[in-house]
Copies of this chain bind each other. A is one copy, B any other.
Amino acid sequence: MLHRDQAEVEFSRIVAFSDGVFAIAITLLVLALEIPPNADVADALGDRGAEFFAYFLSFAVVGRFWMAHHRIFGSIALFDTTLVLFNLAYLAFIALIPFTSEVLGNYSDDSTGVALYAANLTAVSIASWVMVRYAYRHGLMRDEAERYRARFAGVGSLLVAAVFAFSIPLAFVSPTLATISWASLFVLGDRMVDRLTGIRKPT
């Protein structure tokens, strides 16, 4: 376990590098949108409903993960090589979203396409949870972060991963239901987690 001063890779750079990957991944989402030359624009746009939906959904999803990533790293006091590697694994799944989001936009009615997207979000959530759990277990968190242990590293924090994981088989029953289950996370997510873990956001 290294203090910031002894650190091989400085703490601020890990965060800046992560931010860079987030910013690039979120901006690359737009590459999934395309209208071929010599098409009828109005018709082509009419056919792109699912792709626009996937773009805005994924922008919201990556943006949300970015906010969560910041909250996590704002609470970390120390880090070691293992944490940096966990963070890289986490980012590998974030950087994958432009691909799975493009598949979701092109194949919004296909169970496998929707399940792939759900699997990607599940992997991000689990990677995030493993990273936070490791940081708590190895005393890498700030003292003030101890009160959030239940929220960040407890069972409740796995709820998000569980919903995403559950939507993988759900996609084979109904791709639409799976999509709705993610959207519900954005509306209910925070409150459900708080109620389950019995903690409240500070004012």
Contact = CB atoms under 8 A, between A and B. Distances in A.
Given A67-B8, A88-B59, A95 B26 contact: yes
Interface string A29-47: 1110111010001100100
Interface residues of A, number: 57
A76 to B, nearest CB: 13
A180 B62 CA distance: 33
A19 interface: yes
22 contacts: A6-B202, A9-B71, A13-B19, A17-B19, A21-B23, A21-B26, A25-B27, A27-B95, A29-B95, A30-B96, A30-B98, A31-B98, A33-B96, A35-B102, A37-B106, A41-B113, A41-B116, A55-B92, A55-B96, A59-B88, A59-B91, A63-B88
Interface of A: 6, 8-10, 13, 15-17, 19-31, 33-35, 37, 41-42, 45, 55-56, 59-60, 63, 66-67, 70-71, 74, 81, 84-85, 88, 91-92, 95-96, 98-99, 102-103, 106-107, 110, 112-113, 116, 202
